Structure 1
């Protein structure tokens, strides 16, 4: 789906998706009503009602297959942000074992990294424009600072080793969330879902061609279920885009006070 649709509030997204789906149902209903005649009605009625559950099952499988991808992306994105925040929190806690100068510098770099991630990377991920071409300079500088540090006792050696591991984990979690931010339901899947929905609507209209009211009610109910499924998928399609998106709250919660780190 288009970027402008994902950026809309959920209620406007719902209005557009439901409107589009009902429009399809009306077009199918009107098309069958226009071409119906006494001879064609007999042909239409020969279409087996047993097709409806088969087509409905296939539609349900399409929705389940697509939804599984969306839920998986959201779960992995949430886990990546939490792992990134947890790793940075570990860095902050272990920095207490370093000399005051290195401790202050490390806290300041973590602060700057979180600030840059929230203020720059999150809006870019929302537009699927974030890139892995360059590593975050603040974390790279923090890694260089810890690697080049001369330890004075075994405690500092342990802290140095664990901080390096935590920084590497934070970099890996950042890579994961940026990769997942590029994920979305492809156009082919959307076309397949709506094409299958049109097939079901057409089958309903043909089978109930002599009962216009019953046909309209059945088509309206199925169109509502199609729109509801499409809305649920579209609202969660891009993990970092839209009103229902993953916020950088875990990172903000562990963000150290820069003044305290100086």
Structure 2
């Protein structure tokens, strides 16, 4: 959070310095008539840019963030349900299922999560543990009717876990469209450029406008950036759902 605030403040100060340099080396001509409509024009540009490009960008990255959170919660909940249902399996299958669930969750939390924080995920080992778990919960033909029913429900929960896991893997690679990134960056640069193209004869007013607008653009771009990486940054989806159900020491 501190780094973000420093970046926003730095962008504002840098823009203010650019304005002061402009007023010092390229002052307005004596016969130049100030254009009072510049402020209104800039306000229109900001409203159009942020209502369209930034609105779409924020909606897109918020969707990525929400999807990641939903998949993680569903995966952790399914793993917990499997652990609870294991009590109704035959003793041998129940023990293997508990061990399998514990191994899977530990792998997800201790191995996969650090990798996802860096934007990568090699899910091969995780899927191997899922298949081992599927094998471990296979109920023999000698099991009672209740145990057979529990076994089918356990397999159904494992299918839910698998779907949520596939969604989580997709979320790791999800990203904002390059077209929207282009609109964000170029739109911000153009908006800032208009302040320099259209002169304002009041230096203080000019500095205040540039600082405020540059801070707003920088803050919004950083917000999109952090939301665009669902497993890292300020708004990262963490392993709390797994830790709630499986409190590792």
The CA deviation at 1:101 is 1.4
**How many angstroms does 1:163 deviate by?**
0.6
**Which residue among 40, 52, 56 is the counterpart of 2:42?**
52
Which of these residues, 87, 99, 113, is aligned with residue 108 of structure 1? 99
1:232 maps to which of 223, 230, 233: 223
**Gaps (5+ residues) in structure 2?**
none
Instruction: Compute the displacement of 1:188 (Å).
Output: 5.0
Within a 5 Å distance, the mapping from 1:88-99 to structure 2 comes to 88-99=79-90
Task: Give the whole-Å Cα distance in 2 for the aligned partners of 1:22 and 1:235.
Answer: 22
Match of 1:182 in 2: 173
1:49-99 deviation line (CA, Å, top 9, x unaligned):
543233112221222111111111111111101101111111111111111
Runs of 4+ in structure 1 over 6 Å off: none
1:111-134 CA distance string (max 9 Å, x none): 000000001100111111103556
**Aligned counterparts of 2:125 and 2:210: Cα–Cα separation in 1:** 52
Q: Indicate the residue corresponding to 2:112 in structure 1.
A: 121
State how far apart, in whole Å, the 2-side matches of 1:256 and 1:245 are: 20
Distance in 1 between residues matched to 2:31 and 2:122, nearest whole Å: 57
Q: How many residue pairs align between the two structures?
A: 248
CA RMSD of aligned residues (A): 2.8
Matches within 5 A, 1:16-55: 16-20=7-11, 22-24=13-15, 26-27=17-18, 30-31=21-22, 34-38=25-29, 41-42=32-33, 45=35, 49-55=39-45
Question: More deviation in 232-241 or 178-187?
Answer: 178-187
> Over residues 126-172 of structure 1, what are the superposed CA-to-partner deviations in whole Å (9 max), with x where a residue is unaligned?
11110355652222111122236335221111111111110111111
Compute the TM-score of the two structures, normalised by the length of structure 1: 0.82
Is the CA contact (8 Å cut-off) linking 2:139 and 2:148 kept in structure 1? no
Instruction: Please give the alpha-carbon distance, in whole angstroms, between the structure 1 residues aligned to 2:233 and 2:83.
Output: 31
Deviation at 1:210, TM superposition (A): 1.2
Mean Cα deviation higher: 224-233 or 130-139:
130-139
Residue 75 of structure 1 corresponds to which residue in structure 2? 66
Instruction: Point out where structure 1 has 5 or more consecutive residues left out of the alignment.
Output: 1-9, 258-262
CA offset digits 1:188-234 (Å, max 9, x no partner): 53443233223223333444521111111111121222222223223
TM-score (norm 2): 0.86
Give the counterpart of 1:210 among 173, 180, 201. Answer: 201
Select 1:12's aligned residue among 3, 7, 15. 3
